[in-house]
Structure 1
């Protein structure tokens, strides 16, 4: 087999299928489709084994699959940013293959109790949690940045095409041969992704630069970046507002099929398939829908459609009508998820991309893990129909909130790296662990520009904090009102060096330039670096004797 090229292949971005022109992306997409079909077949098999028990126990399958993301997403993001993402993905594939093999053997031998089923489902979720950030983070290495929206939509198409096929196959397989064969197929499905990854060679420029950053420091750096990136935070808020109501459909659909519609495992698979068909059809309408509605309109309309579908599930007991109603649910799901996924990817720079995506996956999957058992408990208490209506109201509230908390305009965000800071002219060479480092920047600002300068420096402040500053302050000199002093503290010289050469983006540079446009003509900022006297380096004074500075 020839090795496919590892660099993105240019294609026309006006087509929803444009990213498939890249050979590696196309090969991984096909392999992922097979794996997703196996995952949906397993989900049907696992849920149907428990469908005779309480609603809460059935919904725990979704919790067992999603909860590992809550526990492992952030460490997985750190691992994906610090180590080779291809190796991380391969490790996850082989681990999930082993767990699925055990699941199949136990199903064939009759040793699969509800507790064991939930534990093994949880372990598979751990593999998914390890894989998630690395999988999302390699997408910009496979396609051009302008095609990230289409790539995200194709990822959603992949999942929903699998949903259209996998549940129906799973339901038929469970009815005809038992759950063991479903679990065995899922185990084999991981081999395709592993095969593509084994022949893919990442470009050297894409390899992570781990440096000396420790795991906890890297974890904190990712959290700090997300907290100080308003565009990313708003994507997370929109995800958090959509997922609770959205998760109700997936958590309660097996109960709707069994208790409300009187269907067996095959009928349940067909209902899930209807959602998948709607999502695949939605892929063709998605580019036009985004042009007409915009990102925020897509989120609002998607939530309203989902609310209507939940109301149909609550009140309609005719299987074919429910199946028809689930078609727009698939379209709404792919519209909302691809919009959120593309939004978060387009706002994250490469150095922290996997960690930022890990936070997104934590909110997305964690929201499902936490709300699914709650919907099961509510259904046991107030009834399935009332529970679905409550979820529909939650979706309507999500739609109404788009006007109050919309996604920020992405046109002003450019995460491309910008190595525009000059190397500091120090009289000694600090070690990577030396610090903390106090950076001071002095500005001369005309009197009539002070208010505007202060306002623009707030964006600079977020930039400093995103890239490594522990504290930040802006002060006006009491003896010289034109003189402003910006100070920020960085944990170590290694962190500050990363600010200089790795972490700054084109957006950070633009914020700095806009603030410096207001300085007294002919003046430039003056920068100094000071080291903590207790733990800083030993530096020579003018006479050559060492002093701490």
Structure 2
């Protein structure tokens, strides 16, 4: 049954922490976007792209490192350390946004702190994913993955209208500072964890050797290679438009106010929420390769509609479909990867998922630059059709095989 993962005390604590962090993450990113729009209106698209690129570059660099650390260190201690660092970094970001000590040049240290915050998150993600089988076992792993997605997505539609409302009534720096309250609860939850899970691979070698071995292992394993390639195609080509640069599209092309944007963005969150509940109740679907194929093609189709629509209700439907399909892609790809990978490589393989997210964010910089030189209306359709073409080619060339049902 899907509820099986909740029977484990440590998973319930981890689950609660994911809910809190997932609530503040979209609030932090969108508040930074509103801060840029307020203080740098003439360079908004480029600076939003730079924020995305800083986050993405950090996730590329630290995702591989985080995967190697998750295979070398005690994972509970690593999770606690990353969240202590997250609190410190985000507090510094709030101070910069409130005080602007360097005037217009404040964007430079803010980009640097954004880089380190994303890098810290890229270390946290593979450690959390690699620790999950040690907490719940392999039989309950699919439900645990789905529940973590539910924890992330149930908060998403709630956070977006709130962040729009708060930024209509408070300064962005004040809103960002409010998000720090989440760690008042997150840190005690992590400190209460009892499980121990030490990585079993690569401790005798250097970290760079660990990273190389993880990449080589993924390339040799056909199912893992196919799954990672599909995720990369969705993240790098599909995500920069509607996700990273979506706020600028909705403000500048559709003409929405911050509050209206919050409700429009909520449709993406509703799509992710609906998908999370769907896969929670249909727990046998995430491990099927047909689910991954359908979700990847569905995301590409949603991106095409989003890019061509100027009719707000149709854009809302496309945004809902994008959120639904993205969850389907990530739940199925993560489940298949977790059930395929050998234990001594688990952290390094799971570290490729934040790397894919990082590549999506870095891709926002050239996409944002091209949109600054031409227009968002010209660039978004090109990216959407490239997404469909690339996903179709990948699905024809790479066919991940179905997996047997796991045992405890």
TM-score, length of structure 2 as denominator length: 0.89
Structure 2: distance between partners of 1:298 and 1:217 = 34
Other-structure match for 2:117:
124
Other-structure match for 2:99:
109
- CA distance 1:290–1:382, shift in 2 (3 Å): farther
Larger Rg: 1
C-alpha offsets along residues 67-112 of structure 1, whole Å, 9 cap, x if unaligned? Answer: 1121122222222211111111111111110111112222222337
Question: In the alignment, is residue 331 of structure 1 matched against residue 317 of structure 2?
Answer: no
Q: Is the 8 A contact 1:55 1:376 kept in 2?
A: yes
Structure with the greater relative contact order (CA < 8 A, sep ≥ 6): 1 or 2? 2
Return 94-103 or 387-396, whichever deviates more. Answer: 387-396
Structure 1: distance between partners of 2:380 and 2:303 = 6
Other-structure match for 1:154:
147
Other-structure match for 2:213:
221
Structure 2: distance between partners of 1:257 and 1:211 = 48
| Larger helix share, 1 or 2 | 2
Match of 1:208 among 189, 199, 204: 199
Match of 2:358 among 352, 359, 366: 366
Structure 1: distance between partners of 2:30 and 2:244 = 12
- CA distance 1:18–1:275, shift in 2 (3 Å): farther
Match of 1:63 among 35, 53, 66: 53
Q: Unpaired segments of 5 or more residues in structure 2?
A: none
Q: How far has the Cα of 1:287 moved from its partner?
A: 6.2
- CA distance 1:407–1:58, shift in 2 (3 Å): same
C-alpha offsets along residues 372-427 of structure 1, whole Å, 9 cap, x if unaligned? Answer: 11221232244222322112212322442313312223239x899xxxxxxxxxxx
- CA distance 1:192–1:84, shift in 2 (3 Å): same
Q: Is the 8 A contact 1:160 1:275 kept in 2?
A: no
Match of 2:369 among 366, 377, 381: 377
Q: Unpaired segments of 5 or more residues in structure 1?
A: 1-11, 417-549
Q: How far has the Cα of 1:121 moved from its partner?
A: 1.1
Q: Is the 8 A contact 1:256 1:313 kept in 2?
A: no
Question: In the alignment, is residue 165 of structure 1 matched against residue 158 of structure 2?
Answer: yes
| Larger strand share, 1 or 2 | 1
Question: In the alignment, is residue 349 of structure 1 matched against residue 342 of structure 2?
Answer: yes
Structure 2: distance between partners of 1:317 and 1:116 = 36
- CA distance 1:237–1:101, shift in 2 (3 Å): same
Question: In the alignment, is residue 296 of structure 1 matched against residue 289 of structure 2?
Answer: yes
- CA distance 1:175–1:250, shift in 2 (3 Å): same
What do you get for the CA RMSD once the two structures are aligned?
2.6
Equivalences for residues 456-495 of structure 1 within 5 A: none
Q: How far has the Cα of 1:294 moved from its partner?
A: 7.4
Q: Is the 8 A contact 2:214 2:345 kept in 1?
A: yes
Aligned partner of residue 199 in structure 2, secondary structure: coil
C-alpha offsets along residues 32-78 of structure 1, whole Å, 9 cap, x if unaligned? Answer: 11111111111111011223324232122222222112112222222
Question: In the alignment, is residue 29 of structure 1 matched against residue 15 of structure 2?
Answer: yes
Q: Is the 8 A contact 1:313 1:385 kept in 2?
A: no
Q: Is the 8 A contact 1:65 1:369 kept in 2?
A: yes
Structure 2: distance between partners of 1:151 and 1:245 = 29
Question: In the alignment, is residue 91 of structure 1 matched against residue 81 of structure 2?
Answer: yes
Return 378-387 or 59-68, whichever deviates more. Answer: 378-387
Poorly superposed stretches of 4+, deviation over 4 Å: 287-294
Match of 1:43 among 29, 32, 40: 29
C-alpha offsets along residues 91-147 of structure 1, whole Å, 9 cap, x if unaligned? Answer: 111111011111222222233722232222112112112212111111112223133
Return 148-157 or 342-351, whichever deviates more. Answer: 148-157
